[in-house]
Each structure stands twice: as structure tokens, then as C-alpha cells.
Structure 1
Amino acid sequence: MNAPNRLAPIQLNQATVNFDDRFTLSEIDWTITADQHWVITGTNGAGKSALAAVLAGLGEVTAGSVQGLPERVGLVSFEAQAELIARELKKDDADIMDVISLGTPVHEIIFENCQDPALAQSLVEKFGLSKLLDRAFRKLSTGETRKVMLIRALSSKPDLLILDEPFDGLDADTLAMLQAHLASIINTVPMVMVLNRFDEMPDFITHVAYMDKDSSDPKNPNQGRLTLTVDRSDEGAFNELYQLLHLKTTDLNVPEADPSNTLPALDPSQPLVRLKDATIKYGDTIIVNKLNWTIERGQHWQLSGPNGSGKTGVLSLITGDHPQCYTNDIYVFGFQRGNGESIWQIKQFIGYVSTALQWEYRVSTSCKNVIISGFHDSIGLYSKSSDNQKKIADQWLALLGMTSRADQPFNKLSYGDQRLLLIARAMVKHPPLLILDEPCLGLDDMNRQLVLALIEKICQGSETTVLYVNHHAEDRIAGIERYLKLEKNG
């Protein structure tokens, strides 16, 4: 019978951890208990390996606390592997040694200070390393070195096993053997794995931690934050995390516009929007006072401010929905407000998403038709769509990770998935300006992350200028580098 897990709870409380000024983990809150097996996943450069390293006692805790770290940790990582190889290579420095070093043999690397020699010997045979025990460790291939690291960690009787990309570089037979062995010890030792690929996640994993880059300080891009933790038994949350990882890491780009449905050309010398001394007032109450603001092509903006500061009013000046847009000095897409332009001449250049639009979009059309309706600026689909428009809609569904739900009714989806589809609907024509008015309002943390990931993708992969409106100026999105904060008057 396997011995029970001995691990006391590990707790990271608002922990900020620095790694030689190369990378910083910011304000990590995380608890690991003895009955849990975790996978750490996330975007490249988000700090997945750094978070795992903290559990091994590495890094300098500069704020918050890290408590309950185990005494004996079995660690397999590319960094630990590189350190061991570098240490061996130093023994081959002919400039300071009188004799040529043969290097440490494999059997010494494995069995020195080994806590379970019988297990180590069994794993040596299973990994096919028996004939390599007398070979110098540094003479091994990368895959063979990886196997030695795994054997050392697994036979160390660890209180916690940390495996950073343990399946990389292993052939199919070795991979199957390792997965079977890990499954056999789940009642003996808790495990934390770093994995980039969700399809490699073992069945025994109970929880997932999602890391993302911390964009709160643009001057320091080498920061990561633990954004989400998900219990794998929560099927809905787990599927949403899978979708988030897809959006963040997919190689798919923002689909092209339909060439047969192009917008009129705009004067490239003119800004998209220019407000000069714009003022909104009701009687003696001034909501917005003499606002000067210019939005140029390719400038992504975040507009923030508290309730009552006039965010929605400013948007209405731009879209032409506010009666005071004609009493202000406003240029939009080269049109001066009040000079005979129609509201539709303006709105054809704008993609707009808001909570109010989602409330209005109550029709029971399919997910695919919601996206296609963006070509016709309609709520629901009442016009025949072209084959190319259907193809573009399919590409958007693929980007969102929603291909399998193309024919599902829109009104049966989660609130967050509806919001994603409405953003795609607003983008199908690649409008010069995409206005996202509080797009995360009413969303839980997971769906909020999904929406923000899609906005990032749009900022990075299209010619559309994004105007992102929210309450909190500190809630930054990668790709948005210009900020306007409105203050409440009075």
C-alpha cells in the first residue's frame, strides 16, 4: 500500500518573487494541498517555470509570503538540466586541469544520495539506460539527459514532485511508460507540472493554474501573474480555460475582410476622431468640460473613468447618437458634425459592442449567423450571405475556439461566449474604429480573461483602431498604449 501524501499546505500570499532581476512574479495568491495535482499553463514568457521554481525554494521573495515549502523536492526542468550539464562541462577545462576529466558517470549522477535505489534501478531498466551507466553524463544526448533527471527526481522520495515539461523529447514508448508510472504514485506524492499543451495533461491532474504576462507596468515587461486557478472537476470552467489558452496561443490570425464588401476609402491625412473643447452639459450641470482628444489611425486607446464621468456621452458624440454632437466642434472620419452627413455615413466605419447591444440581440439565430450578421449591420440574419462571408465566419469561429458550436443557438450560449461572438460580429468588416463599451461588464473572471484575450488579438492582428472603454485605468491590455481618464465633475 502506498504511503499517504505528507505535504503540508503550501501557501503563497500576495507573493512577489524576483529572479535575479530577469523576471518577476507579481502578487501571487495560491494554495496547494496534499490531495491536489496541478498543471501550470499559460502564454509564453508568462512565468510558468518561474512559478514552479518558487515551489522548489528558488527566487527572492520581495513582498508577501511563501509558506509551507517542503524539505525534499524532486525537480525536473530545463534550467536544472542545463545547470547540471554546465557543472559537468567545467570539469573538462584543460586550462586549469592537468589531466583530462572523463566527467561524472551516469550511475554516480543517479545513485549518489539516492533515497530509493531499488526504484532507481527499475527506472533505469524501463528507460533503457542500463548500458549507459558507465558513460560520462555530459556525453549523453538531450533526451538521455532528460531521462536521468527524471529518474533522480522520481527516486528521491520527494514530498513534492515538480516536472517542467516532463514529456518533451521523449519517444512514444518512454512517454507511455512515464505516464503510467506517474499515475501509479498519485497517492504517494503531490505533483506540479508545467505544460504548454493541454492534450498532454494526465487524467489524474485535479487543478490548473493559468499564468499570463503582467502588463500593469509597461516599462517592465518581464513580469508574470497567476491569473486563474481552475478545479478540473468544474467542467464548464475547465472548458473556458481551454478556450482562453487557445485564444492566447493560437497561430490563427484575425480573419481578413470580405473584399466584395469593402468600406469607402477614408482620407489618410485625417484623424479618425478629433474633439475640440467638447462639452456635454444638462442645464447647469457640466458632465464633460472642454475635452480635446484626437484618435489617429493605429492608435489603440483605453478610455476610463468612474460612473458619471461622461464616458458613454463621449462615445455618443463620436457615433452621432448624442444630440449635443452638433453643438460641438467634432470631426469623425473626415466629416465635420452638422455639415449634412447622415448618421449612417458615420456608423458604417464603426464597430460597436456594448452590454446594451447584447440585451437587444435576443434572436435565436446560430452562432455562425451572428457573425455573418455583422456584414449587414443587422440583429439577426435576414439577407442571403455569400460563400466568402460564410468562410470568414468559420475563420472567426476557429479563432474563438468555437468551431464545434457554429450551429448552436446564440441565446443558449454563456454570457461570455455571446460577448465574444458580438465582438467578432463587429469586426467582420474590419471597421476603421472598433468601440468596445465596457465589454467585460457582467462577466466573471474567466470570461473577462477571454474577452481581453480577443481584444489583444485584434490589437495585434488588424488595421482596426480599438477604443476600449472601462472603469479602471489600471486594467491594461497588451497592445493598448494610450490612455484617457475622465474625472467626475463636482
Structure 2
Amino acid sequence: MNSIKIENYTAVFGESFTLNNINWTLEPNQHWVITGANGSGKSALSAILAGAGDRISGSISGLPKHIEIVSFEAQAELIERELKKDDADIMDVISEGTPVREILEEGKAIYPEFDSALLDQLVAMFKLEPMLDRSFRKLSTGETRKIMLIRALANNPDLIILDEPFDGLDAASMQLLQDLLKSKIDAMAMVLVLNRFDEIPDFITHIAYTDQGKLQHSVDINNKQAYDDLYQLLHLKTTELSVPATDLSDRPPALNPNDPLVRLTNIKVAYGDATIIDGLDWTIEPGQHWQLSGPNGSGKTCLLNLITGDHPQCYTNNIFVFGMQRGNGETIWQIKQYIGYVSTALQWEYRVSISLRNVILSGFHDSIGVYTKSTDKQKAVADQWLALLGMKDRANEPYNQLSFGDQRLLLIARAMVKHPTLLILDEPCLGLDDINRQLVLALIEKICTSGDTTVLYVNHHAEDQISGISQFKQLEKLDAQSS
């Protein structure tokens, strides 16, 4: 690859974000990480290499012919493309969606350099053979990310741009990917967008730091002093934490304090001949905070859906939640009124165009969007959360124009706003930079010690443990666990 030169470049993204006067040179044999706070422009900086944004001024020269980009935005676009197939269906025929195999091989007809042998190698490496004929839309978040990464690598680009490539991957898959990328550094240039300093691969040569739409620092990773200064910049002090109170009138009916919140007995979940969970017992007592861990495909999301009532097999299992035995006439809303929930799947579903304040207010109504008039007290609580998240002056901005990380922070506030009896956080730090990640972890710790909310925290990163959590549940894939 030749040198890529970006000179005095200004570009607009949507109606609310601008990259300003970017000057950046990527030399041959350099591999970059772009980092910065949520909304700082790091994803936009990487995306202009792939032609994104509307150029206002400046120039980019030396771009290679074939560039691949993998990002949360690209993932959302692909999922959206699959969802639109349902909209196009006629005669009430529901599309099964595109098989994984076809998604992976789309580049074969486009790129002469498409590497079929590498594709087969990557599929085997990540043990994805069983899902090649499955619908892409039915994959988990981690599985979807793996498919997109494999496809991009098999297309054999000159430059590959990976925006948060390790988020949603378990530790084993993350190490596999790091080793794989390292083996390709002589074949393709790499630009990675990362929030977490501890995920920077050892083959990275340079770091770019963005802030407020500007490229503020370009650091050679071997310059220890500059590297340490940049690390400190990413760990600026957070606001003093104080969890906003909520109006007691927004709380659901009190539960019997002698009952467990959740009791799962001899749980089994199977799809045809494939058994995901078998013989699982689990009890969650009030005030007993849990961390749930396990590799992709071990059934974590399935288990959460059994608790929330979003899984059809909850009625065929022995499940007791919030004083109710499932299958005895209770409604799903009787259950959900006690739950706050944050997940990547919720973020994909939360596609309404409403203000930041209304996203938080929707937590009072357990809805996607606001369709009920909010009280003055509820609005005041929502504004307190916005102030805590550093978004007080952005209350009326549209949610769908936020960065991925800022959207996640807002959904966490939405889940916490009623101080729910059970707060389920499914990978809450996914897509967050170090500063906001520390903020989120501290907030969860405050909730753990507040005395009125039980936390169920799902994650892959062992270092993200919270001092208030003392109970741990580890799931393994069924073929590796003893029932």
C-alpha cells in the first residue's frame, strides 16, 4: 500500500456531526488504532477512508482500490437489509432470510482476489460450519460479528477497517481474531477503532486520538511518554456519581420479601435436535447480585429471555419469577414491570426518532418511544440522568443521531430510571470508551449498594467485575459441559 494522505479535510455526517480540518498520513507498514471518547469522531475518521461523509473541503490521496470496513453501523445496515425482506414479502409468507453461506460468499462475484481457501480456513477456525445454512438474522450478536469479520478478511482487501472488532466476542474468540489479524499484517494495512486500551493488539504501530471532530494527537506507540500521556487523557475524571431518585408512585406492587426473585428448576431449551440448555437450576434472591458469563452460543441470551418471558419455551419449563409461577395466567407485562433491561438486541430495535429526554422517559412506560404523557417529576428525573451522562444541553437532540456508545449510555439510564427490582445488563459496556465504561461500571456498583435493585450483569470481560457483585454463574456450550 502507498502512503494515504488526508489534508485539510472537512466532512459532514448527517445533520449534527462534522469532522474538522483533518490532517493525517498513513505510511506503508503502519497499522493504526483510532481512539477517543464517545461521539468524538473516531468512527467517522475511519469511515472517510471508505468514502463515508459529505466532503466540504480538503483532499484524500493514495487510497487503495479495495477497502473493507466492519463496524456496528455496517452490522446494523446488514441486519436492516435482512429485516426489509420481511417488508417485501407478499401473501403472508415470512422470509427465512439469507443463509450465512451466501452472506460469506457475496464477495466471490465482486472481487477477483476473493480467497475461498481463506474463507474455509476462517469458518473452521471459528467453528462456524454448523451455522452455514442457517439464516443470518437468527445469529447472536457475537456470531453476526464473526461472520462480518470473516467475510471482510476473505475478500482480501488492501486496507481493512475494523470498528470495535472485539466487542461481542468471548475471550477465546478475541484471542483467535488478534492472532489472525497479526498473521495478515504483511498482506493488508489495518485501521482499528477501539475504545479499550487493553484491547490494542501488539502489532499496532500508531494511535490516533480524536476529540470533538478533530484529530488531536497521532502517537507512535513506541514513544512511551506520548503513549502514557494519551492513556491519561482517556481517563479524565468523571462526574461525581449520584444515582437520581425516582417517584415511589412509579414503583410496581411490592413483592413478598421471602420469595426469590427468580427460581429456575431443571431448565431445558432445545430447537429440534439441538439442545442449548439442559438441567439448569438457578435461584436469584433479593439483593443477591449476579455476574453471568460464558462464550458465544452458550445460551446466555436464551437464559435471560426465559426470565423476561420473551422465550416461547418459558411456558414448558419450571420458572418462578416475582411471585408468579409461569403458565398460571400471568401477563408478560406483570413480569416486565419489575425489570430494567439493556442489551445489544434492544439497541437494534430502538429505532424510533425521538429526543434524548424521551428515550429516558420511555423507561417509565416500558416502551420503545413515548406514547403516554409524562409527569413533571418524571421529566425532572430524566433531566437529572441527562446531566449525569453529560448530555444536559442535548435533551432535545434526536436519539438516532447519537454515536453507538452514547446510545448505549442513554439506554442504560432508561433501564435504571425506575430503580427496577431486577436490572438485567447484557454486555452493558459494549461499544463504550474507557471513560464511559468506568462511568457505567461505577453506576452499576452504586445500584448494587442502593439496596432496592438486584443486578444481573452479563459480560465477557473478567476485568469488568464489580465490587458489589459476589455471585457468579458460568455457562459453557452444552457439548463442553456436564448436565
Q: TM-score, normalised by structure 2?
A: 0.50
Which has the larger Rg? 1
